[in-house]
Amino acid sequence: MEFGNTGSLAEDGIHVDMDRLKKGEVNLGTSIMAVTFKDGVILGADSRTTTGAYIANRVTDKLTEVHKKIWCCRSGSAADTQAIADIVKYEMGLFDVMDQTMAQAKDRLVTTSFAASRFSAYCYDNKDMLTAGLIVAGYHPAEGGRVYSVPIGGSYHRQDYAIGGSGSTYIYGFCDENWEPGMSEEDAVEFVKEALRQAMKWDGSSGGVIRMMILSSEHKHPVRHLYLPDDDYRRNAN
């Protein structure tokens, strides 16, 4: 794979190095995060997709289902992260068939930790060819709510909350100051929303709407939230 080594400095002083992208690559300049709360986890993301310095899509959905109550947030190359998510989702479907014979939830194979380990394996084995930073989060009766960060390179780390993407550099202090263990669902939603608002405010590669997915013991199915900038990010739709 050939990369260019040239770039240009625009009049506004922003360095634009389009040749560093693979030919035709769409890059998710982005803000993603996932947090644990008392009853489960919440995933959140902005919706802006960039190709170099250009906005390719204003309303991208960066929250991807892996299994019933296991989802992931994607950052990096859109093509790479979509391919990995599709492969792991297919695997989880196969293991789910095997799980139907397991009487106890603790014996079932399809858990958040297992899904995260599969993401890690694919990212690590192909680390020289992939640009993929992911956050895997989910709720399982035997594990509760769990969040795993899978950064570029393929390692994976269980965390109370995880942030990623270009916008995350602006909100480390905010998250450290405001995250609390055992938050209620309402408090966790407000925390994620405000963190993403700040990331989108300061990061030029993040923007659009805020999407959230709530996975918990209190909801039989995943619950989706959508917040629009037009109405100051008040709750818009499920």
Q: Which residues are catalytic?
A: 30
Note whether 33 and 135 are within 8 A (CB).
yes
Q: In the sheet that 235-237 helps form, which strands lie side by side, from edge to edge?
A: 161-164, 32-37, 40-45, 210-216, 223-227, 235-237
> Which of the 8 DSSP states describes residue 7?
-
Structure tokens at 141: 């009766």
Q: What angle do CA 40, 113, 168 make, to 5 degrees?
A: 65
| Residues in the chain, overall count | 238
Note whether 68 and 50 are within 8 A (CB).
no
**Separation CA 42–CA 81 (nearest Å):** 20
3-state secondary structure of 230: helix
